[in-house]
Structure 1
Amino acid sequence: MKIKFWGVRGSIASPGPQTVRYGGNTTCIEVRTDEDDIIILDAGTGIFPLSQSLMTRQPVHANIFITHSHWDHIQGLPFFIPNFVAGNVLRLHGAYDPVSGQGVEQVMSVQLQYSYFPVREAELRGRVEYVTLTPDESVRVGSATITPCLLNHPVINYGYRIESNGKSVFFTGDHEPPYNIYQPGDLEYAEYQHHVNDRDAAIVRGMQGVDVLIIDTSYTAAEYPSKIGWGHGTYASSFDYASRAGAKVLYCTHHEPTRSDDALEAVFRQALVEHPHATGLDIRLAVEGQVYEF
């Protein structure tokens, strides 16, 4: 199996001289099985260079799995080049939105309006298909089984476990560890804590034993208290998930967009010092353009 990172920044693209080493594009990850089945995780700005690479072999049959509908995870979709060429197929997978009452098709329909983009969906020459997913119900792409896992974010967010030929990857998209919204003295605290514990246990089961865990690691421990409820993880929470799940390799991604490459490396080093229990893990910072094969 091969993983390639095409976008590793969170929230907003941040190109420039301070981000050239780790990259400035927003989230997009390419996973290829040993049979060369292609699974694309999220469609941030990193999907544009990925789509250019796909055009060398046509027709393109792309399976894109959207974790959630926030801009930094879908904003590259209108620029997915195969959509503009007849004979190509984009199969877009994602969640049902209980607020709008629509499935994953709204991800495209909202963006491809003349108010926001010069080409409507009806004018695309490639074919777009939609698959609205249900938590814990697996789908197949070639030799791969992909299972969505409901995570914690201000909108519905799926993590995805990909399994093929005994190899496995789990990607969280955006995720903040579940937390108790009540104070310890509140009457509701104990009951809600059971809910938190159950959700957290289900998430760890979804990650259990994966070869590669790719996880939202936006904040430091010092930054997190002012970001509670924003839906993002920390170095501490990422290390903890990897340890409890028994992941072989942990990739920290969704890098804070205001953090330069130097600052990113500095907070990563500090996190390793602050969490010595993580030293037995293979922990890496995701780098745009990097390929990992196993």
Structure 2
Amino acid sequence: MKVRFWGVRGSIASPGPKTVRYGGNTTCIEIRTDNNELIILDAGTGIFPLSQTLLAEMPVTANVLITHSHWDHIQGLPFFIPNFIPGNTLRLHGGFDPVSGKGIEQVMAVQLQYSYFPVREEEMKARIEYVTLMPDQPIQIGSATVTPCLLNHPVVDFGYRIECNGKSVFFTGDHEPPYNIYEPGDEGFEDYQAFVDEKNNAILEAIKGVEVYIADTSYTDAEYPAKKGWGHGTFSTSIASAHAAGAKVLFCTHHEPTRSDDALELAFADALEQNAHLSTGMDIRLAREGDTYEF
């Protein structure tokens, strides 16, 4: 199995001299199974440079797994070059949105409105298919089994576990570990804590034993209190969950867009020092645009 990072920034693309080492594109990760089947995790701006490399292997069948519908995870879809070429297939997977009452098809429909993009979906030459997923119900993509796990974010958000030939990857998308919204002693604290514990245990079970864990590590511990409820994790929460799950490799991603590469490395080094008791025996890395990991 091979993992390649095409976009590792969160919230908004942030190109420039201060982000050139780790990259400025928003979330997009390429997964190749041992049979070379193509799975793409999220379609941020990083999917555009990925799509340029696919021109050498057409016709392409691209299975895109959308974690959630926020802009930084879908905004590259209209610029996915194989969409404009006959013979290709884009198969878009994602969750049902109870607010809009629509499935994953809305992420294309919204972006391809006349006011926002010059090409309508009907004018694209590739075959576009939509697969609406349900939590904890696995699907088969070629030789890979993909299981969605409902995580914690201000919109329906799936993490994905991908298993193939005994190998496994889990990607959180955007995720903030569930926490109790009540204070100790408040009415409802104990009932809500039971819900939080149950949810955290279910997430841990979904990650357990994974070889490669790719996690939202947007914030430092110092930054988190001001961002609580925004739906993102910290270096410490990701290291803790990777340790609890027995993950072999942790990639920290969704880098804060205002953080320079120098500042990112300092924050990472500080987090490793603070969490040294949890990181023994685990390979922990900063996700970097262009990096590949094969196992």
With the shorter chain as reference, the TM-score category is: over 0.9
Indicate the SS of the match to 1:101: coil
Indicate the SS of the match to 1:230: coil
Find the counterpart in structure 2 of residue 293 from structure 1: 294
Q: Distance in 2 between matches of 1:249 and 1:278?
A: 13
Q: Look up the equivalent residue of 1:293 and give its one-letter code.
A: E
Shift of residue 273, structure 1, vs aligned partner: 1.3
Summarize the alignment of residues 86-125 of structure 1 with structure 2, pairs less than 5 Å apart. Answer: 86-125=86-125
1:138-196 deviation digits (Å, cap 9, x = unpaired): 11111000000000000000000000000000000000000001111111000000000
Q: Distance in 2 between matches of 1:135 and 1:173?
A: 14
Q: Look up the equivalent residue of 1:172 and give its one-letter code.
A: T
Over the aligned positions, Cα root-mean-square deviation in angstroms equals 0.6
Find the counterpart in structure 1 of residue 170 from structure 2: 170
Shift of residue 277, structure 1, vs aligned partner: 1.2
| Aligned residues with identical type, % of pairs | 70
Q: Distance in 1 between matches of 2:89 and 2:244?
A: 39
Structure 1 runs not aligned, ≥5 long: none
Kindly indicate whether residue 8 of structure 2 is the aligned counterpart of residue 44 of structure 1.
no
Find the counterpart in structure 2 of residue 225 from structure 1: 225
Find the counterpart in structure 1 of residue 150 from structure 2: 150
Kindly indicate whether residue 285 of structure 2 is the aligned counterpart of residue 284 of structure 1.
yes
The normalised TM-score by structure 1 is: 0.99
Q: Distance in 2 between matches of 1:21 and 1:93?
A: 31
Indicate the SS of the match to 2:132: strand
1:232-264 deviation digits (Å, cap 9, x = unpaired): 000110011000000000000000000000000
Kindly indicate whether residue 243 of structure 2 is the aligned counterpart of residue 243 of structure 1.
yes
Q: Distance in 1 between matches of 2:16 and 2:50?
A: 20
Find the counterpart in structure 2 of residue 65 from structure 1: 65
Shift of residue 45, structure 1, vs aligned partner: 0.2
Moved over 6 A (4+): none
Q: Distance in 1 between matches of 2:287 and 2:95?
A: 25
Shift of residue 279, structure 1, vs aligned partner: 3.3
Q: Look up the equivalent residue of 2:170 and give its one-letter code.
A: F
Q: Distance in 2 between matches of 1:167 and 1:237?
A: 24
Q: Distance in 2 between matches of 1:44 and 1:103?
A: 19
Find the counterpart in structure 2 of residue 56 from structure 1: 56
Structure 2 runs not aligned, ≥5 long: none
The normalised TM-score by structure 2 is: 0.99
